[in-house]
Structure 1
Amino acid sequence: MLDLFQNEWSRLRTAISSLDRQTTFVLVFAAVAVVLQFILGDRGLFYEHVAASLPADWRELASWGWWFGMQGLLGFVLPAAGLLLFFSNDLEDAGLGLGNWRLATGIAALYLPLVAVGTWVLSDGSAFQQQYPHYSPASQNWTLFLIYEALFLFYWLGWEYLWRGFVLFGSAPTLGLYAIFVQAIPFAALHVSKPWPEALLSIVGGIALGALVWRCRSFWIAVPIHAAQMMLLDFWCTLRVRTGVSGVGLEAFAQLVSHLGR
């Protein structure tokens, strides 16, 4: 029996020694980051332990900042620092370089107008106007809106870098092109509570966005591609709430612009 355990221990040590340190670190840290985001980034935890130290008027906005900030910290700051400090990766190897910025800029220029039109149409629905921005006072105050969206942008940096930067580029030396599919799996899993069409589309979207980042050799293109959908919807809904303009045609858009000019 002792020989059996000694043999298994030897096999375990051999298996561990054969693992690529960077890939192992990346995949384990990504899993830890997701768990910590759900625990430490919880807005309920913020209200229980932190909110009382802040002025009452700022607590709700700060709760969103807490959630967004934890995602930015756990998904962007710490993973990027880990790759750069522990594995001597340069910015390009960590997915943080400019990459093929001409291609990325061209794709963004084609895609963002489509998102702007699509979110403009969606924003005409009362259900969307009641839901977005999630921090409703932002729709009544431009200063609060800008603060909220700046915090939201930090969230998107953390969300996109964790998968399209850290996991994709961090595991690429070992997995090669298969890293595109690996990073799409947890991305889809985190959409499982969404309506089923969105959940299924997250599989396609995760693979497509991963492939785009791989081709551009930089995670930065993923931020405007993904974040614009939510941030533009926030913007259009805010404008409609503040002006009372409804409709999706050019006349409605002209009315919106005329209201803003007053």
Structure 2
Amino acid sequence: MKARLRSEWQRLVNAARTVDRQTAFVLAAAALFVILQMQFGSRRLFRSELAPLFPEAWRELLAWGWWFAAQGVFGFVLPVLCLRVLFRRRPHEIGLGAGDVRLALTLALLYLPLVLLGTWVLSDGAAFQAKYPHYQPAALDWRVFFVYEALFLFYWIGWEYLWRGFVLFGTAHTLGYYAIFVQAMPFAILHYNKPLPEALLSILGGVVLGALVWRCRSFWIAVPIHAFQMLALDFWCTLRIRTGVSGVAPGALIELLGAWLGR
């Protein structure tokens, strides 16, 4: 028995020596950062522990701001520090460089009209209007809407870097192109509670965004793309909630914009 255990231990040691430390660390740390963000960045924690420190009228919006900021810390600040300090990676090696700016801007400009059209169609669904904007008072007050969307940028930087920066570039040297699919899997799984069309599209979206970042060699391109998608969806849903206009035909769009601008 002792010989068998000694043999198994030696096999474990030999196998561990073949594991790339950075790749193993990144995959384990990504899971840890998600758990920490959900625990310490939750709106429930803010409401129970921190909300009494602020005026009552701002508490719920600040709860969302707390969640967004926590994603920025656990998705961007800590992962960047890990790769820079623990593994001595340079910024351009971990997706923080400018990359191919011309290609990124060209693809983004080509994609934005599709986003406007796609989110316009999706916003006609009751499930989307019930979900977006996440902070429902933002749909009733434009000042709140734009403050909310500005705070959301902290979230997008953290959300995008965790997957399209930390996991993608942190494992690329060992996984190669497969890193694109590895980073897309948890990204899609974390959309499980979204409306079904959005949840299914997140699988394709995760792969496409990962491939785009890989090609451009910079995670920054993913931030405005994803942020604009959410802004457009929130905007269309807000207008539908405020005007009551339904339908996706051009006439519905004209009616919606006319009702909004006529107020």
Shorter-chain TM range is 0.7 to 0.9
- Aligned with 1:252 (options 247, 250, 255): 255
Query: Which position in structure 2 is the counterpart of 1:235?
Result: 235
RMSD: 2.4
Flag structure 2 segments of 5+ consecutive residues without an equivalent.
none
Please identify, of 117-126 and 182-191, the stretch whose mean Cα deviation from structure 2 is larger: 117-126
The match for 1:158 is: 158
Q: Which runs of 5+ in 1 are unaligned?
A: none
Give CA-to-partner distance per residue, 1:213-244, whole Å, 9 cap, x none: 111111111122222221112223445556x3
Aligned twin of 2:199: 199
Once the two structures are TM-superposed, the CA of residue 201 in structure 1 deviates from its matched residue by 2.8
1:25 aligns with 2:28: no
Q: CA offsets, 1:139-195, max 9 Å, x none?
A: 343332222112211111111111111100000011111111111111222223344
CA shift, 1:136, in A, is: 2.4
Q: How many residues align?
A: 259
Q: In the TM superposition, what whole-angstrom CA distance separates every residue of 1:27-83 from its partner, at most 9, and x where no partner exists?
A: 110011122222222222221222222221111001111211111111111111211
Q: Which residue of 1 aligns with 2:176?
A: 176
C-alpha distance in 2, partners of 1:120/1:188?
22
Q: Is the 8 A contact 1:37 1:74 kept in 2?
A: yes
Contact in 2 for aligned 1:245/1:255 (Cα 8 Å): no
Which residue type is aligned with residue 246 of structure 1?
A: V
Measured in 1, the distance between the counterparts of 2:254 and 2:139 equals: 22
Q: Please tell me the residue identity of whatever aligns with 1:17.
A: R
Partner of 1:36: 36
With 110-119 and 194-203 compared, the bigger mean Cα shift is at: 194-203
More divergent stretch after superposition (219-228 vs 89-98): 219-228
The answer for the alignment partner of 2:3 in structure 1 is 3
TM-score (norm 1): 0.87
Find the aligned partners of 2:219 and 2:195 in 1 and give their Cα distance.
27
Q: Is the 8 A contact 2:51 2:59 kept in 1?
A: yes
Using the size of structure 2 for normalisation, the TM-score is: 0.87
